[in-house]
Amino acid sequence: MTATTGQRLFISRQQLDTLRLGPDPDAPTERPLADGELRLAVDQFALTSNNITYAAFGEAMKYWQFFPAPDAAWGCLPVWGFATVSESRCPEVPTGRRVWGFLPAGTHAVLRPAKVRASGFVDASPHRAELAGAYQAYAFTDADPLYRPELEGLQAVLKPLFVTAFLLDDFLADNAWFGARRLLLSSASSKTAFGTAFCMAGRRGQPGMARIVGLTSPANQAFTQGLGCYDTVQPYDTLEQLDPATPTLYVDFAGNAALRRRVHTHFGDALTYSSSIGGTHWQALGSGQGLPGPRPTLFFAPAQIKRRSAPPPEGWGPDGLGERLARSWHAFIGAVQQPQPPWVQVHTRAAADALEPAYRALLEGRADAREGAMLRW
């Protein structure tokens, strides 16, 4: 591939382990700009289990629609990362501006900026008009209060996951944990899960706070327990040793239907709420119908952003939400960076060579929970 044709990862929408690299449809030779559009040259982006969730829910949650592939049988994987405006026919956003936001796993992205402010803009491309607004915002890095140049890798790997974790914790706490005395988190070593546990742990000592229990594989148990976010961490095969009479709230980060059924069957009516977040166990996804206890409810972070962005008393307003998120984010990053040892170590690799292997490692559950993959073009 040349610099003008670029590259993009394409994934079969029906078979997530079928993928290929092909010419980027937003590259200069493939798509000239129209008035009001700009072209981003993607610098680098993270690849995490969150991206597997985007693919697993690509149809149901419309993630494939953000960056449509030329062939409708294939999807373009959304990622979070950094890009530079390489060409612009939008006078308000000149070339050379660097942005953070939702991008395709490729070398280029064509956007149509609207509502341009000092802090950034939103994409008003017609095909994205009915999609979740939380994924439409692009921040200028030189105006982003959460941005620090030396932490680009950690921001790309952790920020999207932590925003979900922050909002999930807020939602559950605002509902008084649905009366639970135990908060049970699956896939506890995953970054979204331990980000959520970190936020929950910050509420220890508050009236009505429940115990935080993580479920993980034996290989990740020591690492996960060592984070200090969970009151206890135990392997999946010990689930049935938990007292079934204790009111329990289940947070499902794995999306494993067999595990979900075990949880619902074991706790039955003592299960006060069942929240579904991710789909890292993509081959084991299944319906939540016919389970004992409450019906699993999908948590959609953009809905909580909309609620908390509303004026008081229900919301905090956009500035209030941003201030609370920034405080929590900086506290989280401080914990992640503690030296003995760091919770996450970012490894940057050449995207042209490492993109496919990194995706497959995540898809097959072989990625190290301690590592964060950063891909650079």
* pLDDT, tens only, 274-323: 998 865 444 444 555 679 999 999 898 888 999 999 999 889 998 899 89
Residue 86's domain comprises 8-144+344-376
In a domain, 325, yes or no: no
pLDDT at 282: 44
- Report the predicted TM-score, pTM, of the whole model to 2 decimal places: 0.83
What is the mean predicted confidence (pLDDT) over 160-182? 96
Consecutive H or E run containing 165: helix 152-174
Q: How far apart, in Å, are the Cα atoms of 158 and each of 6, 10, 278, 372?
A: 27, 24, 15, 8
pLDDT tens per residue across span 114-170? 999 999 999 999 999 999 888 999 999 999 877 888 889 999 999 989 999 999 999
- Of the pLDDT bands very low, low, confident and very high (cuts 50, 70, 90), residue 368 is confident
In a domain, 22, yes or no: yes
Domain count, the chain: 2
Q: Which of 287, 304, 321 is the last residue of a domain?
A: 304
pLDDT tens per residue across span 211-267? 999 999 998 999 999 999 999 999 999 999 999 999 999 999 878 889 999 999 999
- Cα separation, 111 vs 122, whole angstroms: 9
pLDDT at 347: 92
User: Do 22 and 122 belong to one domain?
Assistant: yes
> With the CA atoms of 103, 104, 106 and 108 taken in that order, what torsion angle do they form, in degrees rounded to the nearest 10?
-60
CATH number of the domain that residue 84 is part of: 3.90.180
CATH number of the domain that residue 224 is part of: 3.40.50.720
Beta strands 211-216 and 182-185 are: parallel
- Of the pLDDT bands very low, low, confident and very high (cuts 50, 70, 90), residue 3 is low
- pLDDT above 60: residue 2: no
Helix, strand, or coil here: 268? helix
Out of 4-13, 44-53, 144-153, 177-186, pick the least confident: 144-153
Are the beta carbons of 14 and 73 closer than 8 angstroms?
yes
In a domain, 287, yes or no: yes
What is the mean predicted confidence (pLDDT) over 53-69? 92
User: Do 125 and 40 belong to one domain?
Assistant: yes
User: Do 104 and 204 belong to one domain?
Assistant: no
Q: Which of 304, 333, 367 is the last residue of a domain?
A: 304
User: Do 128 and 236 belong to one domain?
Assistant: no
pLDDT at 283: 47
User: Do 165 and 107 belong to one domain?
Assistant: no
- Of the pLDDT bands very low, low, confident and very high (cuts 50, 70, 90), residue 371 is confident
Region of residue 92 (left: phi > 0; alpha: psi -120 to 50; beta: else): alpha
- Cα separation, 92 vs 376, whole angstroms: 27
User: Do 190 and 282 belong to one domain?
Assistant: yes
In a domain, 359, yes or no: yes
